[in-house]
Amino acid sequence: MLFKISHNDSGNRSVFPNILLWGKWTIEYDNQFKPSIEGSKFILGKFKPKDNKYQRVFNQDNGIEFNNYCGKIKGWETVESGKYIELYKDGGYKILDYNEGYTPPVTDNNLSYTEVATILKDKITENLHYYVNEYGDLDLFLSGGIDTGMIQAVALSEKLPVNIHTNYKNTFYPLLIDYDKAGPQQKFCAEYQYTFRQLPPMGKNVLVAFGADVASVAQAHAAKSLYKFLGLDYDKEFNIALEKNFYNTSQKHKKGFSDKEPTANFDNILDAKWHIDHMCHMDIHDRWDIDDRRLLNPIADRDFLWYQMALKPEDFNLNHHDKIVYKTVIQMTTPEVLDTCNKTKLDTGIKSIRIPKRWLKEQKAGGLR
């Protein structure tokens, strides 16, 4: 799903096939985005709890622009969860608060990783059956990681018509292997988001695991917000995890991710959890169509984040470092899949590939946050 809202037409109909001229605003969008007008106001991103959400970012450097694909680019500001945008025909706009009405399924920290794995397994199973009933055969391109491995394990256990592909396994940017086969929208998005560089350009109904890290509170700066309330010392636990070579830790250590600190301080654990929710759940999309391909994400459920934030302290720590919840889902469904997954996030044997200089320059300069 793609949209661009500004005072100028990009003229790029291969990416934005639809255009709506609304007062001084030019609203360009693909076939999945649905414009919403209430009286004299154009409404952007006023979600209900079960809506398929999208990011809303804006930039005012060269005239105001809103879109949903520049969230990783410096200079673009994110419209936070719990806020929406009203556009007016005279070219003005407001960013307003609203109550989305979402209620977390659990707020305490009393669940075991087995209990959470069971909840996630059942929901993923339900989602996969729904996709098959709606769209028929599905494609799953394995990355080599635990996230796509979990989807594979559930699909195999349920004997679903899912075509498992390994040709892009452990490839840094699968898009670059078959760039000429990608459609114009994926090529466009790849210039702004590395997610679409990681997406193979093949398949009609493609299962993806975007946001699985986010839902497991894998980022250090998010998890650290909760550690002090759980009676845990992050640095101590990280060093223990590093010695044991847990799944997430080598990458965090090598790339410095473990040094990142929370962006705010909190008086209680519930406030910290809501902050993590507001930071993270907008990255969890359950459906994103691109180039007439359906990207179907059975892991994209806001509740998954809250269930994994509700783990007992020792299990939360283990899940943050070793993805024990997702590993347990695999063990509950098709255990042998775990042996085919990489042992750590750095243990990938990544296939060498020539990365465009513009992407390397952008990454070195911090263009992608």
Domain that holds residue 83: 3-97
Co-location of 186 and 326 in the same domain: yes
* Final residue before a domain boundary, out of 50, 66, 97: 97
Single pTM value for the model: 0.92
Residue 273: inside a domain, yes or no?
yes
Q: Which of 73-77, 80-84, 231-235, 349-353 has the highest mean pLDDT?
A: 231-235
What integer best gives the mean pLDDT of the chain? 90
Among candidate residues 97, 126, 156, the one where a domain is terminated: 97
Q: Are residues 132 and 243 in the same domain?
A: yes
Residue 292: both structure tokens together:
């007439």
User: Could you report the per-residue pLDDT of 329-339, keeping only the tens digit for each?
Assistant: 999 999 999 99
Cα 237 to Cα 33, 112, 181, 253, 319: the distances in Å are 44, 18, 45, 13, 12
| Chain centroid, CA 215 distance in Å | 8
Distance CA 57, CA 80 (A): 9
Is the pLDDT at 346 greater than 70, yes or no? no
Which residue, 97, 125, 157, sits at the end of a domain?
A: 97
- Strand intervals (E) in the chain: 3-6, 18-22, 25-29, 37-38, 41-44, 57-59, 65-67, 77-78, 83-88, 93-97, 138-141, 162-165, 205-207, 287-290, 293-296
Residue 352 pLDDT greater than 80, yes or no: no
Residue 316: pLDDT band with limits 50, 70, 90: very high
Q: CA 25 → CA 62, 77, 89, 158, 315, distances in Å?
A: 15, 19, 7, 48, 50
pLDDT digits (tens, 9 = 90+) for 157-184: 999 999 999 999 988 889 999 999 999 9
Total number of domains constituting the chain = 2
Per residue in 240-299, pLDDT (tens digit) is: 999 999 998 888 877 777 777 887 889 999 999 999 998 877 666 656 889 999 999 999
Q: Are residues 59 and 133 in the same domain?
A: no
Residues 50 and 148 in one domain: no
